[in-house]
Amino acid sequence: MYRAGIKRPFKASHFLVGDLDDETRPHEHTYTADWIVEVEGLDESGFSVDIALMEELLEEATTSVEGVLLNDLPFFENRQSSVENTAEYLSRELFGKLAERGASLQRIRSSEMRIWESDSAWASYRAEDPGKRDW
């Protein structure tokens, strides 16, 4: 298996629901989105994935939430705006963008979106066989 990844910082706000002290008020984080994909083999050019395309799509996805209150997005209507759910949201956005461009997802065996909310804390969402899913 081969893995390739990229990362990109972005700022967004959120608040959590529940008995969570200061987390229940809107506040901003500088997050880092870390996207890793895994493939079984290299393509005919000797590459695992098109990193330039990954960078372009991650920039689009993170720019779309830059400065946004995550809780206002439809995805979070019935979900906590946790780091875990933010990772799933960005994964769905990225695979939707790949599908819109007609990119083949069949070679990708797994994808992990890791969201860092600080230098030491992260959570992730992992999608197995994303080419077999409806994004």
Residue in 65, 96, 68, 82 with CA at minimum distance from that of residue 124: 82
Q: What is the pLDDT of residue 39?
A: 93
Distance (Å) of CA 86 to CA 55, 79, 107, 125, 128? 18, 10, 25, 9, 18
17 pLDDT more than 90: yes
Average pLDDT over every residue of 2-20: 95
Measured in residues, the chain has a length of 135
39-56 pLDDT tens trace: 999 999 999 999 999 999
Q: How many domains does the chain have?
A: 1
In whole angstroms, give the CA distance from residue 82 to residue 87: 9
Residues of the domain holding 32: 2-132
* pLDDT cut 90: percent of the chain above it: 81
In whole angstroms, give the CA distance from residue 37 to residue 105: 11
135 pLDDT more than 70: no
CATH of the domain at 38: 3.30.479.10
